[in-house]
Amino acid sequence: MPGLLSDALAWAAIITFILGSLLARRNERTARYVTAAAWTLFAAFWLQLVPYYAFEHKSYIEGFLSLAAVPACLYAGYLLYSGRDTLFVLSKAVAAMGVIYLPFETIPAFALFGVSIPAPKGVLMEAVAAQTKFLVNAFGYHPEFIAGDQGYLNTFLFMDGDHRLTISVVLACTGLGSMAIFGGLIAAVEAPLRRKFRALAIAIPIIYALNLLRTTFITITFGKQYFQFFVDEILLMFGSSDPYMVSFFISDRIISQFLAVLALVGITYLVVREVPELLTIIEDVLYMVTGDEYDLREALDLETPKSRGGSA
């Protein structure tokens, strides 16, 4: 798993993004330099994650996205430095995403005035694991629910004959990353709070519910070894020699990650209907990818915030 270097780079990048956002309204020139530096730090953060996702985590999708994020971040910093001021909004969004996500990733358990405060990620992981257990049991499966390697009650134990199969709900399995992305995007744009809250009320429950279905699906299909197809080919594809992992690779790394991309596209559309201001960020991303300017509000036939009235 990512360690101290990853955490240090993440915090350094996010703090620099925050500083750039604070400076944007006071000293645009300095803010431009600071935020460009933040994008460079963010590129370094993604670069050091590539080996983990590609070789340890064995997720080709996440490994590819991490690798692609490196030049994307450097290009965003270059464009901002060169005068594309709309990228200040995307930079602010990244800062907000980090503020939401990093406390769960990096804050350990500690004691305060004799009171033990649990690690935020432990609380979240155990909550999602307990809800996954409820759904797994509802579908008629009753694996043993045990503490995992980190000491949290977040692991399911199945038996395949004499072979133990364990699967744990870790932080990446909680949906926090996707919720942080939408929370950060919505927080970054200038829009009435009522519309922002409506957008959050759409995105967060859908992400959370779909993620519970995902963890339930993976737990059952791996625990019961339902997807033992093309064993040799799948093991070769993911660089593994453990045939028991085939059902996990198919259910998680292939099916779930592909469906997650489709779900995020759909959720983005629903959120943009409530907060069209987010299109500025999407247009910037499309510009970085294609080099062309886009007017998505006209293409999607979305009303402007003014035409939606003061009730928003």
Q: How far apart are CA 30 and CA 33, in angstroms?
A: 5
Two tokens, residue 210: 């779909």
Torsion of CA 66, 67, 72, 77, to 10 degrees: 80
Active site residue 214: yes
198 is known as an active-site residue: no
Catalytic, out of 173, 253, 273, 308: 173
- Cβ neighbourhood burial of 149 (10 Å; 0-12, 13-18, 19+): exposed
> Are the CB atoms for 198 and 227 separated by under 8 Å?
no
Query: How many Å apart are CA 62 and CA 53, to the nearest integer?
Result: 6
**Active-site entry in 32, 195, 214, 253:** 214
CA distance 62 to 301: 33
Which residues are catalytically annotated? 173, 214
